[in-house]
Amino acid sequence: MGDKVALPSLSLPKQRTHWSVFVVIAASVLFLVMCGALYLVLQRQQAAEEAFAKRQTDRATVLKAETEKARAEAERAAAEAKKKEAEAAATAAVAAAKKAAVATSASDAAKTSRKRTTRRSSSRGAKGSATTASLPGMPDVPAAPAKPASKASKDIDDLLKSFK
């Protein structure tokens, strides 16, 4: 045991590298190439996701602006509708006032014709009776006062005059 053992030399002349070493080196290079390709794919995927998110936020901004525009347009349309409704109410009030004036003149005419008919029937005797002479299709409406009685009716009359 005291003898020294001589170890063989690892670098022998004309000795080639084992084929398994080439396989390991080739697999390592292939692994590094695949890692690089995976990194590039992940980079592109992340860029695509960021672009998609940006497009979504831009679209949301555009939709929000369109919604606000539509809301403002609807409010403007509602205001115009209220204005037209007020104008229609004023026109209806003018028409009602004209109808009342026509009805008043018709009732005045009916009263005068009743007085004439009553005088004639009383002069003819008991045979004739008093008849009511009203226009067909026109209801009997009490006479409207000639002058406005309150401040509100004066305001309405002033409003109606301003439309002329």
Is 50 contained in some domain? yes
Task: Report whether pLDDT(129) > 50.
Answer: no
Stretch 30-43: mean pLDDT, rounded? Answer: 98
Is 155 contained in some domain? no
Stretch 135-143: mean pLDDT, rounded? Answer: 55
Identify whether the C-beta of residue 130 lies closer than 8 Å to the C-beta of residue 114.
yes
Q: Write out the two tokens for 74.
A: 């609807």
Is 35 contained in some domain? yes
Q: What is the DSSP letter of 146?
A: S
Is 85 contained in some domain? yes
Tens digits of per-residue pLDDT, 42-97? Answer: 999 999 999 999 999 999 999 999 999 999 999 999 999 999 999 999 999 988 88
| pTM of structure | 0.38
User: What is d(CA 144, CA 104) in angstroms, rounded to the nearest whole number?
Assistant: 7
Is 72 contained in some domain? yes
Is 139 contained in some domain? no
Is 122 contained in some domain? no
User: What is d(CA 17, CA 151) in angstroms, rounded to the nearest whole number?
Assistant: 119
Q: What is the pLDDT at residue 5?
A: 82
Task: Report whether pLDDT(126) > 50.
Answer: no
Q: Write out the two tokens for 40.
A: 């590039």
- What's the domain range around 32? 22-91
Task: Report whether pLDDT(27) > 70.
Answer: yes
Q: What is the pLDDT at residue 4?
A: 83
Domain count, the chain: 1
Is 45 contained in some domain? yes
